[in-house]
Every structure is written in structure tokens, then in C-alpha cells.
Amino acid sequence: MSKYTLHVNGKAQAVDVEADTPLLWALRDTLGLAGTKYGCGVGACGACTVHVDGQPARACQLPVSSVGKRRITTIEGLDARAMHPLQQAWQELDVPQCGYCQAGQIMTACALLKQHPRPTDAQIDDAMAGNLCRCATYVRIRAGIQRAADIAAEGKGKA
């Protein structure tokens, strides 16, 4: 075991784990941040999507020893009041069914909206293709992203 310092959601956190431990399990088991989900362990489902220096990444494919000083944002750290436009839109449109994949969906969608504040359906399809939803809430995820774009635009209009 080795000690690593991870910068998670704006805080420096020490974890004492094997070097090859995926960030996913350090978050879940060591730091108790259960919002990042285990789905496949091979980077094929997107349930474990977090942001690394603002870019979406698969936490199951990222050994803790490789993270270094890069800043990790998890679903718990997306917004201090859990009122990110995506989190608002997801509730407004009642997107989840079982909800297990939704943290990963939101983290991926967040990166999309940063790049394309008004994404087309094709851009949504393209950006979200790596995230599985077994309940198949895709119709509402699409609508949720569009609605979040509206909310974000409204917020900027007011400010």
C-alpha cells in the first residue's frame, strides 16, 4: 500500500491503497463517495464517469497512482447545492428510472454542455454514446440535456 493525495471536489484527500487501485474504488471504498458507480470495470458503460481537470474520464480505468495533482470532480462535487442545471432538469423531467447510471450520464452531459451550450441532438447522441442506461431513459436524458441548456441560458440572462 502507498499513500496518495487526491484532489477531489476541491479538497485534498489522502488515500492509502495499492498503486493499481482504480480511482473508482478509492472514491467509493476509501473516501466513501458512492455516487460514482461501478458498472463494468472496463470503461464500457460510463457509470463511473468523473471529471479530471474538467474532462470526462472513466474512473474505473484510472489507477490512483496515475492521477497526480489533477483535479477530480465527482457527482457529489458538481454543485455545492446540488442545483446544477442538469440536476434541476433531471428532477423537473423525472429522468431516472432505477437511477444507477444517472450520475455518469450527468457528468458526461456536463462536459458536453461546457463544449456546446446549445447542443444539437446529433451532438448529444455523439457525446452520450458511451453511457449505457439499462432502463433506457434515453428519451428523457436527451430532453434533460436540452432543458438544462435552457436553464443555464436563463440563469445567464438574469445575471
Partner 1 sequence: MTRATPPSPSRRRFLGQSAGVALLLGVQAGGAIAALSGNGETDASGDFVPNAFIRIGTDGRVTLVSKQPEIGQGIKTSLPMVLAEELDVDWKQVRVVQGDLNPIYGSQGAGGSTSTPTNYDNFHRLGATARTLLVRAAAQAWNVPAAECRTENGAVLHGASGRKLGYGALVRAASALPVPDARDVVLKDPAAYRLLGTRVGGVDNALVVSGQPLFGIDTRLPGMLYATYVKCPVLGGRPVDANLDAVKRMPGVKAAFIVEGTENLNGLRPGVAIVADSTWNAFRARKKLAVTWDEGEGARHSWTGFLAQAQQASGQPGAAVMRKDGDVDAALAGAARTVEAAYAYPFISHASMEPQNCTAWFRADDGTLELWAPTQNPGAGQALVATTFNIPKEKITLHITRSGGGFGRRLSSDFIVEAAAIAQKVKAPVKLTWMREDDLQHDHFRAGGFHFLRGGVDGDGRLVAWHDHFVTFANRVEKKESDGGSASVLQPGSGGNLSGDEFPGRWVANCLIEQTPLECRIPMGPWRAPGSNVFAWVFHSFIDELAHAAGRDPVAFRLELLGDKDLVAGTGERGVPYNVARMRNVLKAVAEKANWGRRKFVRGQGAGVAFHFSHRGYVAQVAEVTVSKEGRLRVDRVVVVADIGAQIVNLSGAENQVQGSVIDGLSTLMYPALDIDKGRIVQSNFSDYPLLRMPDTPTRIETHFLKTDYPVTGLGEPVFPPLAPAVCNAIFAATGKRVRELPLAKADLSWS
Of positions 5, 55, 120, 134, contacts partner 1 by CB under 8 A: 134
Residue 121 interacting with partner 1 (CB under 8 A): yes
Q: With respect to partner 1, which residue has the nearer C-beta, 125 or 150? A: 125
Residue range at the interface with partner 1 (CB under 8 A); choices 12-20, 51-59, 112-120, 150-158: 12-20
Q: How far is the CB of 158 from partner 1 (least distance, A)?
A: 22
Q: With respect to partner 1, which residue has the nearer C-beta, 118 or 134? A: 134
Planar angle of CA 92, 98, 101, nearest 5 degrees: 85
SS (H, E, C) the chain: CEEEEEEECCEEEEEEECCCCEHHHHHHHHCCCCCCCCCCCCCCCCCCEEEECCEEEEHHHCEHHHCCCCEEECHHHCCCCCCCHHHHHHHHCCCCCCCCCHHHHHHHHHHHHHHCCCCCHHHHHHHHCCCCCCCCCHHHHHHHHHHHHHHHHHHHHHC
Q: With respect to partner 1, which residue has the nearer C-beta, 32 or 157? A: 32
Residue range at the interface with partner 1 (CB under 8 A); choices 17-25, 51-59, 112-120, 151-159: 17-25
Taking a C-beta distance cutoff of 8 angstroms, is the pair 51, 107 a contact? Answer: yes
Q: With respect to partner 1, which residue has the nearer C-beta, 94 or 157? A: 94
Residue 85 interacting with partner 1 (CB under 8 A): no
Binding site for partner 1 (CB under 8 A): 1, 17-18, 20-22, 25, 28-42, 44-45, 47, 74-76, 78, 82, 86-87, 90-92, 94-103, 106, 121, 124-126, 128-142
